[in-house]
Amino acid sequence: MWTDVADLHAFYASPTGLMARRLIRRKLRLMWPNVGGATVLGFGYATPYLRTFHREAVRVCALMPPQQGILQWTLGGKVAAGLADETMFPLPDRCIDRLLLIHAVEASEALRPMLAECWRVMSDGGRMIVVAPNRRGIWARLERTPFGQGRPFSEGQIRRLLRETQFTPVRSEAALFAPPIRRRAILSTARAWERAGERWLGLIAGAILTEATKQVYSAVALPARSPFRILPAPVRPAAAREAPSERGASRTLPSLSG
């Protein structure tokens, strides 16, 4: 079930949401330090994270499902967000170099078809990052944040899902080790929570970020066939062969001369 866009917007305007955006965006930048020359697409509710790529990428845009709803979002004074069914993006094949899925896989009503559509629009060298709630984390257990909505995943489940939908997982990161508590002491020490979590508490992060590449299988060339067929020599019929007894009899017949 998709979270309403108004609730998503309100969360990211709150102190807890601002903290989450800052920590997840840091990991996104670690995984994609340079997107120069790339076309970047976000699906789900990716707008809090896409602006960081605006100055480098050739184009940045966001798509949101109708069940979630949409808020106007602009880049450089131009509208850069639109509505799209999760299984039918209004984009041509192989046009996206980087694709970010966030607040999407846990809410999807057609998960595998959605990933198939992501595969379709990604370029052959394209990369995708899936951000999903960690089923072992505290954030997935508290419904007051978007990371507590829908279906959470383990890292193994996400990797298996990607492999089964023609992607190759290449890297995973974790974020949101600080608990989603609206207390100044927690919010002000979020970076310290992240450093400690990365070192000792990797399994309880609030979010898992998994990067994957698009699998593209090339055709296997078959060996060329000769235009000529060499057939085996024909076997003489048994009736055409001289019987051994006849050969022996011909040697023992008496001569008829004189």
Where is pLDDT greater, at 251 or 153? 153
Instruction: Determine the Cα–Cα distance for residues 53 and 69; give it in Å rounded to an integer.
Output: 23
Structural domains in the chain, CATH included, are 5-214 (3.40.50.150)
Q: Check residue 118 and give its pLDDT.
A: 98
Q: Check residue 251 and give its pLDDT.
A: 44
Least confident window among 125-129, 177-181, 193-197, 225-229: 225-229
* 118-135 mean pLDDT: 97
Residue 115 predicted with pLDDT over 70: yes
Q: Check residue 217 and give its pLDDT.
A: 73
Instruction: Determine the Cα–Cα distance for residues 188 and 180; give it in Å rounded to an integer.
Output: 12
Tell me the pTM. 0.82
% of the chain residues with pLDDT over 90: 69
Residue 73 predicted with pLDDT over 60: yes
Question: Is-contact 12 48, C-beta < 8 A?
Answer: yes
Instruction: Tell me the pLDDT tens digit for each residue of 191-238.
Output: 776 777 677 666 789 999 999 999 987 544 445 554 444 445 555 555
Instruction: Determine the Cα–Cα distance for residues 16 and 146; give it in Å rounded to an integer.
Output: 11
* Contacts of 142 by beta carbon, 8 Å cutoff, 6+ apart: 148, 180
* 102-115 mean pLDDT: 97
